[in-house]
Amino acid sequence: MQRGKPGLYLQLIRWDRPAGWLLLLWPTLSALWVAAGGFPGWQLLLVFTLGTFLMRSAGCCLNDVADRDFDRHVKRTAQRPVTRGAVSVKEALALGAALALAAFGLVLSTNAATIAWSFVALAVAVAYPYSKRFFAMPQAVLGVAFSFGIPMAFSAVQAPGPLTLESMRSSVPPLGWLLMLGNLFWVLAYDTEYAMVDRDDDLKIGIRTSAITLGRFDIAAVLLCYAAFLGSWNYLLTSRLQSVYFLAAVMAAAAQAGWHLHLIRERSREGCFQAFRRNHWLGFTLFAGIVASTWP
């Protein structure tokens, strides 16, 4: 890598836009708290917090390389470092690989099953940037990628013995997979809002997104996805947590979802982008409710 480009590298990993990695962080930490029945310990907290940031940053590098020929035709992305040639493809891939290796180094401090699951998570993350070329709803692939921290959190807490297919399977209980499925609907909601920002540009260049596929049913679909996410997490966790704090958090999150729907009602670029950027507060609200419910 050339020297003198630290600002461009920070721009490449969206350092100044933390909403993206926070959208990954809150459901992952929520799962960590649920799996541990409370505070999971500083080691796991550090591993999953730093690992989430590093992997999201690595994903940005790969995404910008994969989309560089498309991004120049989209108003919002035309000035990204790789797209405008300020950072080369080799530089971006090298930075992404270094970040991913750093994240893997953190995972090595957990257990064999979690390490094995990390390879699955990596494969999905690598596949996502290319899915929009083949799938009508690439947001679903992103949903899997952005939700995979949930089963990994359960696996890290379970701490099984030597790696076998059985120990890997048993490392994630059904609750972990169901929470992941519920979270996937949240990703569909906020990334459809994100896709609505670029719908006009994406139609011109032939990119497939949920906003285009859903057409005039986009807002209704966002509503249903929010409802599926909050409804499933409420059903799965209320009896387990048995706390008024979590119920209050679900209600507060539902109110935020209502505000987001208000913002996107006219399908304006500004409103849809604002709704997307505010979603991490919804995730934080649920996480805070879980922490409060498991407080000693």
The single-letter DSSP state of residue 217 is G
66, 51, 62: which is closest to 21 by C-alpha? 51
Check residue 206 and give its pLDDT: 80
Residue 24 lies in a domain: yes
The single-letter DSSP state of residue 215 is G
188, 61, 183: which is closest to 135 by C-alpha? 188
Residue 94 lies in a domain: yes
Residue 261 lies in a domain: no
Confidence (pTM): 0.93
Check residue 1 and give its pLDDT: 42
Residue 135 is part of a domain; what is its CATH number? 1.10.357.140
CB atoms within 10 A of CB 210: 27
Residue range(s) defining the domain that contains residue 174:
6-228
Check residue 31 and give its pLDDT: 98
Check residue 4 and give its pLDDT: 53
Compute mean pLDDT per 10 residues along the chain, 296 residues long, and list them: 71 90 97 96 97 95 88 81 90 95 96 94 91 86 95 90 80 96 98 93 85 94 98 96 95 98 96 96 98 92
Please name the residue that has the structure tokens 């999201």. 56
Residue 290 lies in a domain: no
User: Domain count of the chain?
Assistant: 1
- The number of angstroms, rounded, from the C-alpha of 64 to the middle of its chain's C-alpha atoms is 17
Residue 248 lies in a domain: no
Residue 175 lies in a domain: yes
Contact (CB, 8 A) for 190 and 142: no
Check residue 27 and give its pLDDT: 98
Q: Distances in Å between the alpha carbon of 99 and those of 116, 213, 229?
A: 18, 33, 30
Contact (CB, 8 A) for 218 and 265: no
Contact (CB, 8 A) for 222 and 193: yes
Residue 35 lies in a domain: yes
Residue 296 lies in a domain: no
Contact (CB, 8 A) for 154 and 176: yes
